[in-house]
């Protein structure tokens, strides 16, 4: 906690009443704050209430936050450049806000922001797309529209994912919860040996295709489970079942370079490639 914040809570400071503070971003007003709205409810002590002030900070953060975007590859293999993000500079904002609250020295506060840089920029992406470490293809019935839609959504989620050295890739974390709101549909899935209709049915084909591709790349498997019955799109024992409230598929990149996952749907095929840089020190795994 900053020293000025502690002193403000301890000292009996009586700020002068005045006009509200206008908080702006790019000269547009995004909030108007009055002293009494963030004042500690103690008679005779006109101090800032830490709880109310934290709520104000979170409100401002939500309004000004702009997430950074990694560089990606489009379907043609061209690099789409990264985009820098922004977040609230809490320290600078607090210093300025206290000037208003305790000293009545300003009536407008332009939100101070910090730049947030993406993890993957165009330069890195151009380096780790050069060496193919592994690949795998599975097939499905594209006439099953619901299952095809689920597969397309899951493939889009894992496509362009970069796993840095020492990082663990979690299928459930990357793909997220499968919901109707996200576009997932009811399709057949295997649960406890039974074939039933479930939201997101079909995405285990995506996780299984990914497993076979990265397994050939020699990465370290962390978590993988097979279905309770055979699935037709991979050989026996070569599947990776996943469920939001159940099993996950995860692996760790223990190589000296990041690895890039490229995934796409072409007709009735799920295709997954694994790439890295020419400088990667890896051992491919032969699968019989």
Q: Which has the closest alpha carbon to 234: 185, 287, 181?
A: 287
Cβ neighbourhood burial of 210 (10 Å; 0-12, 13-18, 19+): buried
Whether the CB-CB separation of 282 and 131 falls below 8 Å is answered with no
11 pLDDT band, cuts 50/70/90, is very low
Q: Which of 25-39, 67-81, 248-262 has the lowest mean pLDDT?
A: 25-39
User: What does the pLDDT look like over 129-143, one tens digit per residue?
Assistant: 999 999 999 999 999
Please say whether the dihedral angle defined by the alpha carbons of residues 217, 221, 257 and 116, taken in this order, is positive or negative.
Answer: positive
Q: What is the pLDDT of residue 130?
A: 94
Per the model's pLDDT, the better-predicted residue between 193 and 73 turns out to be: 73
Q: Which of 11-20, 182-191, 205-214, 240-249 has the lowest mean pLDDT?
A: 11-20
For residue 259, pLDDT over 70 is answered with yes
Residue 36 DSSP one-character state: G
Dist. CA 61–CA 87, nearest whole Å: 7
Q: What is the pLDDT of residue 198?
A: 65
Mean predicted confidence (pLDDT) in 29-39: 90
DSSP-derived 3-state class of residue 13:
coil
Dist. CA 208–CA 237, nearest whole Å: 10
User: What's the pTM?
Assistant: 0.83
Q: Which of 16-25, 114-123, 164-173 has the lowest mean pLDDT?
A: 16-25
- How would DSSP label each residue in 159-215? TTEEE-TT-EEEHHHHH----TTTT--EEEEEETTEEEEEETTTHHHHHHHHHHHHH
* Helix (H) or strand (E) segment spanning residue 134: strand 131-139
User: What does the pLDDT look like over 36-74, one tens digit per residue?
Assistant: 899 888 877 778 999 999 999 999 999 999 999 999 999
Q: What is the pLDDT of residue 12?
A: 40
Q: Describe the chain by its helix, strand, coil percentages, rounded to 5.
A: 25, 30, 45
């Amino acid at each position: 906690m900053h020293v000025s914040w502690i002193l403000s809570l301890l000292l009996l400071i009586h700020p002068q009443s005045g006009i509200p503070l206008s908080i702006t971003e790019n000269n547009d007003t995004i909030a108007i704050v009055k002293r009494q709205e963030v004042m500690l409810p103690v008679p005779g002590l006109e101090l800032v209430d830490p709880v109310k002030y934290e709520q104000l900070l979170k409100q401002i953060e939500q309004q000004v936050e702009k997430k950074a975007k990694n560089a990606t590859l489009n379907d043609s293999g061209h690099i789409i450049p990264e985009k820098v993000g922004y977040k609230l500079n809490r320290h600078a904002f607090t210093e300025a806000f206290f000037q208003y609250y305790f000293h009545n020295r300003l009536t407008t506060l332009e939100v101070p922001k910090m730049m947030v840089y993406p993890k993957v920029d165009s330069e890195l992406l151009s380096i780790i797309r050069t060496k193919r470490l592994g690949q795998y293809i599975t097939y499905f019935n594209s006439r099953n529209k619901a299952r095809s839609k689920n597969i397309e959504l899951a493939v889009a989620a894992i496509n362009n994912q970069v796993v840095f050295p020492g990082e663990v890739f979690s299928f459930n974390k990357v793909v997220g919860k499968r919901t109707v709101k996200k576009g997932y549909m009811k399709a057949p899935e295997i649960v406890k040996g039974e074939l039933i209709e479930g939201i997101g049915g079909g995405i285990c084909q995506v996780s299984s295709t990914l497993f076979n591709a990265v397994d050939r790349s020699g990465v370290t498997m962390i978590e993988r489970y097979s279905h309770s019955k055979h699935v037709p799109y991979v050989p026996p024992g070569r599947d990776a079942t996943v469920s939001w409230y159940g099993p996950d598929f995860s692996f760790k990149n223990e190589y000296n370079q990041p690895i890039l996952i490229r995934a796409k749907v072409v007709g009735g095929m799920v295709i997954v490639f694994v790439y890295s840089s020419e400088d990667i020190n890896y051992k491919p795994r032969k699968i019989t």
